[in-house]
Amino acid sequence: MLKYIVLGLLSYRPMSGYDIQHWMGASTGHFWHATLTQVYTTLKKLEAEGLADSHIEPGTDRPDRRVYRLTESGRADFKRWQASVTTDMEVKKDSLLVKLFFAAPEDVEGLLTQLRVQVTLHRQQREAYERNVPQAMMAFLSDQPELMPNAELWELTRQYGIRYEETYLEWLHMAIQFLEARHSSRPTDEHKG
């Protein structure tokens, strides 16, 4: 799958591995990410498969860059993938839910701590979608104004991110309220006889 994000970014313009990692973080980062290592190995594989080619761009006061460009074959492969209909739903793995599911029901305090930390994290994530992501999109567009029509699609995925975080936060509040209510209705051992 990372293959297609890399092909997708290269379909906009030629890029180095470093560029790809950078723009991936700013654009698809909230629904797909990868480490730099993975990007470099993916690019190497794409070149071996003939879907991209590369050349070295010497840097004057910066390190040399290996810049990759889509080949015709690469562009065709990407279009073929775009046209294929996605019919499988991948499970969104979430270790917080695993923890909650298998928690000891009597350890309400521990659970509440976990959930409150998540509230902070998901708020930060929502902030990022509202501030950083639009900024990154603008930065990209100022380099390539011809991608303006694509920005509408980017915006749809950003809307998804915002809605997702809002739902997560609402659910967290609900869960916290529920557990708090349970907790206070259960007196501690000291009061029992």
> Contact positions toward DNA, by CB under 7 A?
1-2, 16-19, 22, 33-38, 40-41, 43-44, 59, 61-67, 93
In single-letter form, the type of residue at position 169 comes to: L
Query: Which residue stretch of 37-45, 57-65, 66-74, 80-88 sits at the interface with its own copies (rule: CB under 8 A)?
Result: 80-88
Among 55, 170, 173, 181, binds its own copies (CB under 8 A): 170
Question: For residue 191, what are its two tokens?
Answer: 């009061």
Give the CA distances from residue 118 to residues 87, 172, 175, in Å, rounded to whole numbers and listed in that order. 31, 8, 12
Among 36, 56, 76, 98, binds its own copies (CB under 8 A): 98
Among 48, 59, 61, 85, binds its own copies (CB under 8 A): 85
Q: 3-class secondary structure for 76-136?
A: HHHHHHHHCCCCCCCCCCCHHHHHHHCCCCCCHHHHHHHHHHHHHHHHHHHHHHHCHHHHH
Which of DNA, its own copies, none binds 44 (CB below 5-8 Å, type-dependent)? DNA
> Of 98, 101, 99, nearest to 113 (Cα)?
99
With b for 16 or more beta-carbon neighbours within 10 A and e for fewer, the 174-193 pattern comes to: ebbeebeeeeeeeeeeeeee
CB of 181 vs its own copies, minimal distance in Å: 11
Among 14, 22, 26, 29, binds its own copies (CB under 8 A): 29
- Alpha-carbon torsion 65, 71, 73, 76, what sign? positive
CB of 85 vs DNA, minimal distance in Å: 17
Interface positions with its own copies (CB under 8 A): 1, 4-5, 8-9, 11, 27-33, 78, 81-83, 85-87, 89-107, 110-111, 113-114, 117-118, 121-122, 125, 149-150, 152-154, 156-157, 159-160, 163-164, 166-167, 170-171, 174-175, 178, 182
